[in-house]
Each structure stands twice: as structure tokens, then as C-alpha cells.
Structure 1
Amino acid sequence: MRGPAEAEAEDFVAAHTAIARPALVPEIPLHLATEITPIWQATEAWLGEQGIEPPFWAFAWPGSQALARWVLDDPSRVAGRRVLDFAAGGGLAAIACARAGAAVVEAAEIDPLAHAATRLNARLNGVAVAEAPGDVVGAPCRWDTVLAGDVCYEAPMTNHILPWLRGLAAAGARVILADPGRAYVPRGGLAEVARFRVPVTRELEDRDERVVVLSRLLG
């Protein structure tokens, strides 16, 4: 049963998005925004805060699209496994894993609106996605597979998460990093597993297409 705060957050997400289908994964409908400025301003007004992070949950970023496509193209990659969608945004990769038959799927986010979007999107697709509470960075490994899409866009973020992700890999998890050419992706300790050309919008990017490289992170 939804609590008042959860219901309010879900109502906000539903009111400021429309159901659309990501270009690379059209079989998964999502609650998405079409423009970044209006949803960003609405989020600041709703939270009563200025200078907040962009509402990453409102868009199907190229890294998440590539991860979802990779999973759906071969469901055996996650079927029966315990999966974490790290920095999940609106939960696209998590939903793909649930549809592919993962035993347990968790979505990790520190933004309550991202969790609200993931709940709405999971219900829209008729799948179950659990919330990984709080900041999971530093948590011991309890997953078989960890998907991390487009997380190396800032140096502080990369420096915060990369040692932990490498630790998960060393503990036996298969950690898949999806990078669409961001500046701070590590240059070593990666083994490429796939690449995708993902159509993107100039509302969010400086081009019409991003090449997303999926790599296994080595421990």
C-alpha cells in the first residue's frame, strides 16, 4: 500500500510526464518528459528547492537504453539472477531485467522521485522491481549482476562509485558499465561486451546519436 509521500511523488511524476517508448527499446513504455527545462522547474517548485540535480528519472538515457536492449536481446544474461540497476533513473534497465526473468531486481536511486517513476513504470509494464533503500554505495555484494548506465559523467561521482563497483566485481558479480562517451569513464580494467547506436534528442545531447559501449568491469 502506498504511503502519502509515495502517492504524492507518483502523482507528481504522472502529471508531468507522458507515456512514450524509448527509441532503442520500444517494447517498454515509460513515463517520460519531452523537455528538460519545464520538468526541472516543476521539480524545483514541488520540492521547494533551487539548484537541484536535473530530473534524470524523466528521460530514457542512452546508457539505460543500451543496457535494456542488451538484456532483452538475450534474456539468459539475467534470467534467474539477482540484479541491481544502479543509478536506475526511471528504472528502464531494471524493467528489462524483470521482463527477462531475473529472480530479483532492485533499483538503486537516492532521488525519491526516481523511485516514484520506477514504481509507475514497473506497474505500467506489469513487472516487480524492488527499491534498494538509500545510498547503496559501500554495501556488500548481494547481487549476481550489476548494471550501471551512464554513471561516469562527473569526476566526483566516478571517484565515489568506481572503487565500490570494482569491489563488487572482485566479489564475483558481473558488473556491466554502459558508457555513451562521457568524460570520466575509466580507460582500463574494462572488457567490452557490446556496443549500440542509440538515437538521442538535442534537448539532452549535442548530437542526434550516441554510440554506447557496454563493458564488463574487472575487479
Structure 2
Amino acid sequence: MKRSGTPCPDPAAFITANLPISPVPSIPEILLHTAGPASGLWRLAGRREADAPPYWAYPWAGGVVLARHLLDRPEIVAGRRVLDLGAGSGLVAIAAAKAGAAMVTAVDVDANAIAAIGLNATINDVTISAVAADILDTPPPEATDLIVVGDLFYDPSLALRVMPFLRLCRASRIEVLVGDPERAYLPDRELKRISTQEVADFGEAASGGAVQAGVFSLS
């Protein structure tokens, strides 16, 4: 745990000072502030059980494959209003903006992720509206044509909340795209695979760093 009385650093200042800017593996067009061994990320993320894990500080395969998919097929998002759910670093949101989306909103529950999204949007010269919120128990978002979901099926309790929300969005005629390396709680029976690609994954760094990840649609 953090020492009593130790103030939490300003997230944007900490990220700028400690997370170097580097191109995303498999996506050299996008630069992100990414944590490394010397980042001291625990000083920002905290060590209490209630503190959100700093998933936003690393590129994960589901986000990487989905971002690559959008950049390679800009017609998917061109002129559309896109919402990135569980946006983390903002990687998929940035890809959507670069591919020509009319409006991009990135939503995450972690305030540190929101700070990272703002910084990452700036270094990639795109405009993204970053919102700190849990929207899984709310009605489908208005003024949204497409929801993109990168790597949100790593936890069973989260998966159980994500899917009902996505079903409601699809019923409201919002298109849904999911990027995932087929983690344990991906509801693949409800999804249609669109493409598969080998991409880098932070979680597999010890075994070579690449996994087969897919892009799926919710029908």
C-alpha cells in the first residue's frame, strides 16, 4: 500500500515523466505512452485491493488487433460516431479517429486511463472525448453508430456485465465490434469472427509476445 500521507501524483504529469512514448507493436502508425520496468507505475496505480489495475499502461492483443483492423479498413468508421468501451490507453479510439471517424468517445472507469487517453490523443494529433464512467448499467448511448470493445473479456464478472449492455446496444441498431485473443470469458458463441491476425500482446511477453487474436461482430 502507499505510505500514509504520501500524496498521489498528478496522473498526466506522472505519465509524461515516467511512461516513454513508443510505437505500438504491430501498429507503427500509433504512438502511446507505455509503461516499462523503470516506470514505477505502482506509485500512480496504488497497491490497495480496490485500486484499478493499470491495464491502460500496456497494449493488449484485443485492442491491438481491433485497432489494426480499423486502420486497414477505414470505411468501417469513416464519418461515423464511435464509442470505445473500456478504452484503456485509447489505442482503438485513436485508430478510429485516424481512420476518419466523425466523432470518437473513449470510456473507462479508471481516471488514470482518462489522463493517458488525453495525452495519447495529443501525440497522435487526433481529437477524442475521454469520459471516466461505468456505463454498463445505463441505456445504450445516444449519437453512437459503432461500439468498439478491445480485450474486455478477461474477467468473468466483467464479462457478465459487458454482454447484456452490448446486446442492448445491438438491439438499438448500434454496431458492435470486439477484438480479443479468445480469452477465457469471450462469449464466442454469440459472436461472428471477421478476421484473425497474429499481433503482439503484453500479457504474452514472456513467451515471445505474439498471439492469434480475432475481430468479431455481434449479430
Common fold: TM-score over 0.5: yes
Q: Which residue of 2 aligns with 1:100?
A: 99
Residue segments in structure 1 that go unaligned for 5+ positions in a row: 1-6
Please tell me the residue identity of whatever aligns with 1:89.
Answer: G
Q: Return closer, same or farther for 1:205/1:145 CA change in 2, 3 Å cut-off.
A: farther
Q: Which residue of 2 aligns with 1:79?
A: 78
Classify the secondary structure of the residue corresponding to 1:101: coil
Between the aligned partners of 1:58 and 1:106, the Cα distance in structure 2 is 19
Between the aligned partners of 1:104 and 1:201, the Cα distance in structure 2 is 29
Q: Which residue of 1 aligns with 2:151?
A: 150
Q: Return closer, same or farther for 1:107/1:201 CA change in 2, 3 Å cut-off.
A: closer
Between the aligned partners of 2:68 and 2:157, the Cα distance in structure 1 is 28
Q: Which residue of 1 aligns with 2:4?
A: none
| Deviation at residue 132 of structure 1 after TM alignment | 3.0
For the 8 Å contact 2:19–2:35, the answer to whether it is kept is yes
| Deviation at residue 26 of structure 1 after TM alignment | 0.7
User: Which of 21, 24, 38 is matched with 2:23 structurally?
Assistant: 21
Between the aligned partners of 1:214 and 1:134, the Cα distance in structure 2 is 25
Please tell me the residue identity of whatever aligns with 1:116.
Answer: A
Between the aligned partners of 1:13 and 1:94, the Cα distance in structure 2 is 19
| Deviation at residue 201 of structure 1 after TM alignment | 4.3
- Length, aligned pairs only: 208
Between the aligned partners of 2:69 and 2:59, the Cα distance in structure 1 is 15
For the 8 Å contact 1:82–1:104, the answer to whether it is kept is yes
Q: Which residue of 2 aligns with 1:185?
A: 186
| Deviation at residue 188 of structure 1 after TM alignment | 1.4
Between the aligned partners of 1:104 and 1:74, the Cα distance in structure 2 is 17
For the 8 Å contact 1:200–1:207, the answer to whether it is kept is no
Classify the secondary structure of the residue corresponding to 1:38: coil
Q: Which residue of 2 aligns with 1:162?
A: 163
Classify the secondary structure of the residue corresponding to 1:188: helix
Q: Return closer, same or farther for 1:202/1:36 CA change in 2, 3 Å cut-off.
A: farther
Please tell me the residue identity of whatever aligns with 2:141.
Answer: C
Q: Which residue of 2 aligns with 1:50?
A: 48
Moved more, 188-197 or 120-129: 188-197
Between the aligned partners of 1:116 and 1:171, the Cα distance in structure 2 is 30
For the 8 Å contact 2:45–2:52, the answer to whether it is kept is no
Classify the secondary structure of the residue corresponding to 2:189: coil
Classify the secondary structure of the residue corresponding to 1:128: coil
For the 8 Å contact 1:84–1:145, the answer to whether it is kept is yes
Question: Alignment identity in percent?
Answer: 35
| Deviation at residue 189 of structure 1 after TM alignment | 1.6
Between the aligned partners of 1:163 and 1:36, the Cα distance in structure 2 is 39
Residue segments in structure 2 that go unaligned for 5+ positions in a row: 1-8
Between the aligned partners of 1:103 and 1:96, the Cα distance in structure 2 is 12
Q: Return closer, same or farther for 1:86/1:134 CA change in 2, 3 Å cut-off.
A: same
Q: Return closer, same or farther for 1:20/1:171 CA change in 2, 3 Å cut-off.
A: same
Please tell me the residue identity of whatever aligns with 2:48.
Answer: Q
For the 8 Å contact 1:63–1:149, the answer to whether it is kept is yes
| Deviation at residue 61 of structure 1 after TM alignment | 1.0
For the 8 Å contact 2:35–2:58, the answer to whether it is kept is yes
Q: Return closer, same or farther for 1:149/1:57 CA change in 2, 3 Å cut-off.
A: same
For the 8 Å contact 1:64–1:93, the answer to whether it is kept is yes
